[in-house]
């Protein structure tokens, strides 16, 4: 905690000395955002180098004190030796705890435990006006505590968080359940999540993978003390491919938590690393999501793919990288729309229930939603422009009573945005903790990409 206090004093001092008009931003070595920023506005970077540690894990209270820029990879490595894990561990190793709370994270435990911010007990936050406050649901900063999720750094930055931890067992037993009909798949997902059981046994994890209209799978995970074997998908074998060929599988709990990271779900295929020869030549330490994300950033910066497409006279492509939440009873409708209008596969399906009310991302507490995740490039129809597919998705999601995460590109008109993301709740908190507007507001940051 002494080192933490020094880091807090340093970042508080640095924000107080920023030049007028400069918008503070955290300097992070990695990012999982896909909003490529407009470089026109002056920005001053705040070092987060000394805010990336696990301060303490307490096995007795099943809590952890964690600095805001700590990655989930580092956090899991600190908690698993005590037989504990965070309630929700987002799929990618370099997502930070502070990022998952001020943004949104999700995983296969979300059908029971909601989103990462719902297991947070306390947050120490650097606000836009330079104060450092401790926010809890029951203190004078409860308004900030409730509004912080989905604020994406526009109300302040999490410096320290106290989170609840969940007991684990050494292994996870996986059962991949096939479906050929989306309605039946959604109904089964609802029955499993509502009962918390599958085939008469308690369930700890649920997610799914959609390959095409006649082939999709629910994957049910259950903790286990022992396992007859433990599969390894950090080398030559690819996890998502195994879903189509195996009914039962076993993983260590650590490998289960990071099963999607090695191949960035399935997106590593764009870099050719799922080809056996290529894969055999690449060091294992390079098979991870942050490496692929850096490659995407370089491609965006230098326009390599666009130049190749022009040279080959290929159609212009649009980046469609989104996570959306749709009520489970409308999940099959969304898949029908997505197959017809976008056609990208696979699609990740992850059920979730919000355990409380969070004003900036107003999901109905206790209601089951399905997160659909899809990430890739789609050819634009002739005569259409960038944003065509993303706008279609935005309209459809909200027509179905859902919400869209803001970590990637958004195209909402200003008035519609503030209606969907509860501007009435946002602006009083923004005024209270950033009255001078030193931090961008949520629309400027997440839609205009400033």
295 in any annotated domain: no
Average pLDDT over residues 115-140: 96
CA 410 vs CA 109, 346, 406: distances in Å: 27, 22, 7
Read off the pLDDT of residues 405-450 as tens digits, 9 standing for 90 and up: 999 999 999 999 999 999 999 999 999 999 999 999 999 999 997 6
> In sequence order, which residues have a C-beta less than 8 Å from that of residue 278 and are 6 or more positions away?
272
d(CA 136, CA 119): 12
Q: Quick one: DSSP state of residue 22? A: P
> In sequence order, which residues have a C-beta less than 8 Å from that of residue 7 and are 6 or more positions away?
50, 51, 67, 159
Q: Scanning the structure block, which residue is given the tokens 């924000």?
A: 15
Length of the chain: 450
Query: In this structure, what are the phi and psi dihedrals at residue 404, rounded to the nearest 5 degrees?
Result: -115, 135
Confidence of residue 327 (pLDDT cuts 50, 70, 90): very high
Res 322: pLDDT: 95
Q: By three-state DSSP, how is residue 132 classified? A: strand
The reply to whether 183 and 229 lie within a common domain is yes
Average pLDDT over residues 394-406: 96
CB atoms closer than 10 angstroms to residue 29: 11
Confidence of residue 226 (pLDDT cuts 50, 70, 90): very high
Among 98, 47, 91, 46, CA closest to 70: 98
* 59, 39 Cβ separation under 8 angstroms: no
* 171, 250 Cβ separation under 8 angstroms: yes
The reply to whether 241 and 329 lie within a common domain is no
Res 321: pLDDT: 94
The reply to whether 124 and 42 lie within a common domain is yes
The reply to whether 229 and 175 lie within a common domain is yes
Read off the pLDDT of residues 38-54 as tens digits, 9 standing for 90 and up: 544 556 778 777 899 99
The reply to whether 110 and 50 lie within a common domain is yes
288 in any annotated domain: no
Q: Scanning the structure block, which residue is given the tokens 């649901």?
A: 137
The reply to whether 79 and 122 lie within a common domain is yes
Res 42: pLDDT: 52
278 in any annotated domain: no
Residue 21 has pLDDT above 80, yes or no: no
212 in any annotated domain: yes
Instruction: Record the tokens describing residue 348, joined without a space.
Output: 């990740």
Residue 298 has pLDDT above 80, yes or no: yes
- Reported in sequence order, the residue ranges of 279-411 that DSSP labels E, i.e. its strands, are 317-327, 347-353, 368-379, 403-404
Report the percent of the chain where pLDDT is more than 70.
97
Average pLDDT over residues 205-218: 98
d(CA 125, CA 381): 45
d(CA 235, CA 317): 31
Query: In this structure, what are the phi and psi dihedrals at residue 333, rounded to the nearest 5 degrees?
Result: -65, -40
Average pLDDT over residues 106-112: 97
d(CA 397, CA 410): 13
* 169, 212 Cβ separation under 8 angstroms: no
The reply to whether 73 and 197 lie within a common domain is no
Residue range of the domain that includes 161: 2-168+426-446
The reply to whether 349 and 236 lie within a common domain is no
What is the 3-state secondary structure of 225-254?
Answer: CCCCCCCCCCCCCCHHHHCCCCCEEEEEHH
The reply to whether 151 and 93 lie within a common domain is yes
> In sequence order, which residues have a C-beta less than 8 Å from that of residue 249 and are 6 or more positions away?
173, 174, 176, 231, 242
Give the count of domains, the chain: 3
Instruction: Record the tokens describing residue 241, joined without a space.
Output: 């491919």
Query: In this structure, what are the phi and psi dihedrals at residue 126, rounded to the nearest 5 degrees?
Result: -85, 115
Query: In this structure, what are the phi and psi dihedrals at residue 158, rounded to the nearest 5 degrees?
Result: -75, 120
d(CA 100, CA 89): 9
* 200, 151 Cβ separation under 8 angstroms: no
For position 373, which CATH number holds? 3.30.70.2520
Last residue of a domain, one of 203, 225, 259: 259
The reply to whether 439 and 372 lie within a common domain is no
Average pLDDT over residues 114-135: 96
The reply to whether 106 and 140 lie within a common domain is yes
CB atoms closer than 10 angstroms to residue 211: 15
Residue 57 has pLDDT above 70, yes or no: yes
297 in any annotated domain: no
pTM over 0.75: yes
266 in any annotated domain: no
Confidence of residue 116 (pLDDT cuts 50, 70, 90): very high
The reply to whether 252 and 157 lie within a common domain is no
277 in any annotated domain: no
């Amino acid at each position: 905690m002494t080192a933490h206090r020094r880091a807090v004093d340093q970042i508080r001092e640095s924000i107080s000395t920023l030049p007028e008009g400069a918008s503070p931003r955290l300097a992070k070595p990695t990012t999982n955002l896909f909003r490529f920023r407009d470089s026109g506005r002056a920005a001053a970077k705040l070092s987060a180098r000394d805010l990336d540690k696990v301060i303490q894990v307490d096995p007795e209270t099943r809590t952890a004190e964690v600095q805001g820029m700590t990655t989930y990879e580092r956090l899991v490595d600190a908690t698993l030796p005590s037989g504990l894990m965070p309630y929700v561990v987002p799929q990618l190793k370099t997502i930070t705890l502070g990022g998952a709370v001020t943004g949104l994270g999700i995983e296969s435990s979300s059908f029971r435990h909601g989103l990462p911010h719902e297991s947070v007990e306390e947050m120490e936050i650097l606000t836009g006006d330079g104060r450092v406050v401790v926010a809890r649901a029951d203190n004078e900063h409860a308004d900030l505590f409730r509004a912080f999720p989905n604020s994406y750094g526009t109300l302040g930055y999490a410096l320290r968080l106290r989170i609840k931890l969940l007991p684990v067992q050494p292994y996870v037993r996986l059962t991949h359940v096939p479906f050929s009909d989306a309605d039946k798949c959604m109904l089964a997902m609802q029955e499993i999540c509502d009962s918390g059981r599958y085939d008469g046994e308690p369930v700890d994890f649920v997610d799914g993978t959609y390959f095409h209209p006649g082939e999709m799978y629910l994957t049910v995970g259950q903790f286990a003390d022992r396992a007859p074997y433990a599969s390894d998908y950090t080398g030559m074998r690819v996890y998502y491919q195994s879903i189509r060929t195996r009914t039962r599988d076993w993983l260590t709990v650590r490998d289960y938590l990071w099963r999607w990271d090695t191949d960035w779900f399935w997106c590593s295929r764009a870099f050719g690393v799922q080809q056996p020869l290529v894969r055999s030549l690449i060091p294992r330490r390079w098979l991870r999501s942050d490496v692929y994300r850096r490659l995407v950033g370089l491609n965006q910066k230098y326009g390599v793919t666009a130049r190749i497409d022009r040279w080959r006279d290929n159609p212009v492509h649009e980046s469609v990288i989104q996570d959306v939440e749709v009520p489970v009873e409308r999940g099959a409708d969304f898949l029908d729309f997505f197959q017809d209008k976008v056609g990208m596969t696979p699609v990740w399906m992850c059920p979730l229930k919000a355990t409380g009310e969070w004003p900036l991302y107003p999901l109905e507490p206790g209601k089951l939603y399905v997160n659909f995740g899809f990430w890739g490039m789609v050819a634009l129809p002739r005569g259409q422009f960038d944003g065509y597919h993303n706008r279609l998705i935005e309209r459809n999601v909200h027509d179905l009573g859902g919400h869209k995460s803001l970590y990637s590109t958004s195209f909402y008109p200003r008035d519609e945005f503030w209606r969907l993301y509860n501007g009435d709740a946002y602006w009083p908190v923004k005024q209270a903790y950033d009255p001078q507007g030193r931090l961008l507001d949520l629309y400027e940051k997440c839609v205009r990409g400033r």
